[in-house]
Structures are given as C-alpha cells and as structure tokens.
Amino acid sequence: MKSTVQSLPISLTDLSKHYGLVKALDKVSLDIAAGEFLTLLGPSGSGKTTLLMALAGFVRPDSGSIIFGENEMITTPPHKRGLGMVFQSYALFPFMTAAENVEFPLKIRGISKAEQRIRAERALETVQLQGFGDRRINQLSGGQRQRVALARAMVFEPRIILMDEPLSALDKKLREHMQIELKALHDKLDATIVYVTHDQREALTMSDRIAVFNNGRIEQIETPERLYRRPNSFFVADFIGESVSVPVEVSSNIAKIQGLSLKTNLPILSGRGGYKLIIRPELLQLTSNKVPKTSNDLSGHVHDIIYQGDSVLVIINCELTGLINARIPANRVGQKGIPSKGEWVGVALHPEDTIIVPEQVS
C-alpha cells in the first residue's frame, strides 16, 4: 500500500501538563523525523501516554507547542489532526463488521461506497485478514482484532500513526510475532509512527529510536543499540535489560571499587548522585583460568546455577561486588563451561562492556 502522501515530521517544544501537583509532562521537547518509528518507553505514570494523548488531541497541555510538518496543532481538535490511532483496547465498534470498521474513516471523509470497499479490502489484505471482512468483532480472536484496528488506522493513509500499547493484551508468542509484522508494515507504509509501550524488549525490537520517560521527562532518546550499550543514567540502564548495579567511586574520570580501579573504554558521563557499575549477565565471560590483565576481574565462588531453557544463569559471589549474574548460552560449548556449585570461577568484564553511569542525568 505504498501511497503518494508523504509522512510528516513532528516537533514538540516545552510541552507541559499538570494533574494537580503531579507533573505528567515536564517541558518535553522532542523532534521526530518524517517516517521514523519512535517508541515512548517508560514505567506507568511516567508521562508517555499523556504525551501520546496530547499528540492525538485528547489531552489539552498547559503549555508548549506541537507542530506536524509546518503546522501548529496545539489547539486543533482531534478530528482535524488527520492521525491514525490504535488503542490498547483496540476500540473497534462492536455493532459493525470488521469491514465496516475499516471503512468507517473513509465514510467520514465522504469517499464513494465502491472505493470504500476496495480500499478496506486492500487494508485488510495488508494485515493478512482477507476474507474476514464480514465477521463481527466478537467473532474475531485478540490477534485478529488487533489487525482490524491496524487496518482501520492506516486505511485512510494518515501521515502519522499513533499506537498506545497495541500489543499488551496479546499472549507472548503472538505479541512477538506481531512486533515483527508491525516493523515490516512500517517499512511498507509511508507514515511516521509514535508507539507507546512499557515493554523494553518490544521497544528494542521495533524502534528506530526510543525515548525513555521518567517522571514526565525524557531521560534519554537514542537508537536501540546505543540506548542498551550506552545508557546515560542509572534509571535507563536499570529499566532497559537485565542488570546488577554496584556503587563505584569516580574521581578525575577513573572509577574505583574498594580502591581498585576499573578499566573502561566508555566515557563516564557526568551527572547528579553517585555512580554505579552496570553488570549485564550476557557481558560477563566465565573462565576456569586467571582473568587476563586487560579485563576487569570479578572472579568469585559459584553461589547458584539456574537453568532457564535458552540459557543458564550462574550466580557468582564476587568479593568485590557481592552477588552478580552471568549468562551462558545453553548450547554445547556453553554446557561444557558450566561450573559446579561452590567452585571458584574466573569472571572477566571487558573494558568495552564496562558501563558506568551516574545516578541521575544532570
């Protein structure tokens, strides 16, 4: 369904919204490129949904500016913003069939009955629901409803599509399948997509960039890989991925644990509060030999071993840091390297993987 319309960039400046004393949005500024897949990620109550609702026009901000392309939208009512929107509850009209739901936005736009039918059929085909048009909504499964909602949001070729946790009601397997499909759909459509989720894995899978929200502010906005490998604060490092954090002393750009300096090739960003070393399980290297001089040495005795199917989690009681987790892939090579409980094991952390973050961004 490649269209002639061009996707639109979005520019937000100093957007604020208070609910009583709670700052849902605290002077948020954000530029979203045309055609970008941007995810707003954060815990519940962090402001991500409020921002999406402000974009859609359902929440009136206290101050700030919302620009689509060249046009200021801050007071434009929802029905004149021309957005496609997918709700968490799907919000399909229960008294209409799947096809009638998809035709709805075309009907509102005064498009002829014949063309409505053709375009709705094509949209249903895009989401792999050809032949399901005559079904009532209650005759569709969760995944199928999700697809109808998607078809309805894109059938009128909006230049911006907003999605509010659209996959959260699906089971894990279907959710992961839909993530890949949504990403493929985004490549096909010419639309800027703003996607809200609290699932960090979902965000990493689909996004061009991720904006991490905390207390109504954007903590960090980056590509998935950079966000994962170079978090700028403890909040981001802790929220994205699995990790154990250990407080460290930082002075003149050298981090130390109990007086022992850590080797790192990554810049140590300045910030407020203390500093922490972020230890991700998959970054640790287990060895029965001594840890090479070039890496950081976190060796210790094996405290516990947990089998998790795709991998094995080895919990190590390290003298320097306390309990840390190391992950070994559950393949043949990995199996050989599994130590036994109580055994001493060498643990290496490469300087490229040594992440040290401030408690808060300055």
Partner 1 sequence: MSAKDLSSHAQSDLNKDILKNSERKEHLTFIGLSLPAILAILIVVFLPIFWLSSLSFYSSSGDLSSENYARIFNSSLYLKTFFVTFQISISVTLICILLGYPLCYWLTRLPNKWSAILMVFVLVPFWTSVLVRTYAWLVLLQRNGVINSALISLGIIEEPLQLAHNLTGSIIGMVHIMLPFLVLPLYAAMRNIDMDLVRAAKGLGCSPRSAFWRVFFPMSMPGLFAGVVLVFILSLGFYVTPALLGGGRVQMLAQRIESTITVYSNWGAASALGVVLLIISLAMIWLMHRAFGLDKLFMR
Residue 19 engages partner 1 in binding (rule: CB under 8 A): no
142-154 helix and 172-188 helix, angle to the nearest 10 degrees: 20
Closest CA to 41 of 205, 245, 154, 271: 205
Q: Give just the sign of the alpha carbon dihedral 332, 336, 342, 344.
A: negative
Shortest Å, Cβ 253 to partner 1: 50
**Integer angstrom CA distances of residue 142 from 38, 149, 220, 335:** 25, 11, 33, 39
Q: 56 vs 266, which CB is nearer to partner 1?
A: 56
Task: Return the amino acid letter for 148.
Answer: V
What count of other Cβ atoms lies within 10 Å of the Cβ of residue 134?
10
Query: Can you tell me which of 22, 43, 58, 128 binds partner 1, judged by CB under 8 A?
Result: 58
Helix then strand count (H, E) for the chain reads: 9, 21
- Residue numbers 230-259 binding partner 1 by CB under 8 A: none
Nearer to partner 1, 96 or 313 (CB): 96
3-state DSSP call for residue 323?
strand
Residue from 20, 77, 267, 309 touching partner 1 (CB under 8 A): that is 77
Chain Cα centroid distance, residue 20: 28
64: helix, coil or strand?
A: strand
For partner 1, give the closer residue by CB, 136 or 272. Answer: 136
Q: Quote the least distance from Cβ 293 to partner 1, whole Å.
A: 58
Q: Is 331 near partner 1 (CB under 8 A)?
A: no
State the number of binding residues for partner 1 (CB under 8 A).
26
From candidates 20, 94, 259, 267, binder to partner 1 by CB under 8 A? 94
| Cα–Cα dist 142/159, whole Å | 26
- CA distance linking residue 6 with residue 192, whole number of Å: 9
Q: Which of 89, 128, 130, 331 binds partner 1 (CB under 8 A)?
A: 89
Interacting residue with partner 1 among 5, 6, 19, 78 (CB under 8 A): 78
Q: How far is CA 161 from CA 217, 257, 284, in A?
A: 22, 47, 40
**Nearest residue (CB) to partner 1, 77 versus 131:** 77
Q: Which is nearer to partner 1, 76 or 317 (CB)?
A: 76
Residues 140-169 that bind partner 1 (CB under 8 A): 152, 156
Which of residues 59 and 174 has its CB atom nearest to partner 1 in the complex?
59
Q: Which stretch binds partner 1 (CB under 8 A): 1-9, 79-87, 224-232, 248-256?
A: 79-87
Contact 314, 286 (CB under 8 A): yes
- Binding stretches for partner 1 (CB under 8 A): 56-58, 77-79, 81-85, 87-89, 91, 93-95, 104-105, 108-109, 136, 138, 152, 156
